Amino acid sequence: MKINEIYYSIQGESSYAGLPCVFVRLTYCNLRCAYCDTAYAFYEGKDMSVDEVLAAVRGYDCPLVEVTGGEPLLQKEVFPLMDRLVGSGCTVLLETGGSLDVAQVHPQVIKIVDLKCPSSGECQHNLYSNLDKLQPYDEIKFVIGTREDYLWSKATMEKYRLSDRFPVLFSTVFDKLEPRQLVEWVLQDRLKVRFQLQMHKYIWEPASRGV
């Protein structure tokens, strides 16, 4: 498979934020979100076998692993990789853009599905059938850049009863919407969501790789 980078850092998002984590970033993506902060993963990477990736992950001696991209589900080798990570006793997170079927993902993998808001330019690619293939411990993420995005996210939550079924994460497009503004909207509407910041972007320079 084509691997963009493997590194050890602090988990910056999700319900696991703040924990040490090994990140396995796969190359390629089928979407081009307007605010993408990992465009370098569209094409850059090196070929590695599943065994080589597992060896690299084991070298960090960390029980939490995130498989991300790009869009990791574009490469079929990611499925045996996740199976073996789970089999080795790791807690495995999958960060996926929500446009590809998650049915083949190991049921113990915690899927973080990013439903694309209107300002991303990729809203039309959300695969809503995925919602019926998730477990209660999987998570739904909305990255919000405008008031329109917020209202759309709120309506989508209501339509699919998301906050009754899964943890729902709200975050801002970095440097596009003030976090305080989003928090005020959430509190005003009493939404059952977890607000999050991209923690790593406040610890290191926002454009830094490998963190």
Q: Residue 37: what pLDDT?
A: 87
Confidence grade of residue 42 (pLDDT, cut at 50, 70, 90): very high
Confidence grade of residue 26 (pLDDT, cut at 50, 70, 90): very high
The total number of structural domains in the chain stands at: 1
Residue-averaged pLDDT of the chain: 96
Residue 150 lies in a domain: yes
Task: For residue range 167-200, list pLDDT tens digits in order.
Answer: 999 999 988 999 999 999 999 999 999 999 988 8
Sign of torsion, CA 146 148 150 153?
A: negative
Residue 14 lies in a domain: yes
Q: Residue 183: what pLDDT?
A: 98
**Neighbouring C-alpha atoms within 13 Å toward the C-beta of 206:** 8
Are 82 and 110 in contact by the 8 Å Cβ rule? The answer is no
pLDDT > 80? residue 75: yes
Torsional class of 28: left (φ above 0), alpha (ψ -120 to 50), beta (otherwise):
left
Report the pLDDT averaged over residues 69-87: 97
Q: Among the residues of 27-165, which ranges form H helices?
A: 50-58, 78-87, 147-160, 162-165
Residue 211 lies in a domain: no
Question: Rounded CA gap, 195 and 166, in Å?
Answer: 14
Q: What's the CATH code of the domain at 122?
A: 3.20.20.70
Q: Residue 209: what pLDDT?
A: 80
Report the pLDDT averaged over residues 29-43: 93
pLDDT > 80? residue 211: no
Residue 116 lies in a domain: yes
Residue 49 lies in a domain: yes
What are the beta bridge partners of residue 169? 141, 194
Cβ neighbors of 91 (< 8 A, separation 6 or more) are 16, 63, 64, 65, 110
Residue range(s) defining the domain that contains residue 100: 2-203
Residue 209 lies in a domain: no
Residue 6 lies in a domain: yes
Which has the closest alpha carbon to 209: 15, 4, 55?
Answer: 4
Sign of torsion, CA 12 13 19 21?
A: negative
Q: Residue 204: what pLDDT?
A: 82
Q: Residue 69: what pLDDT?
A: 95
Burial (Cβ within 10 Å: 0-12, 13-18, ≥19) of residue 106: middle
Confidence grade of residue 202 (pLDDT, cut at 50, 70, 90): confident
Residue 210 lies in a domain: no
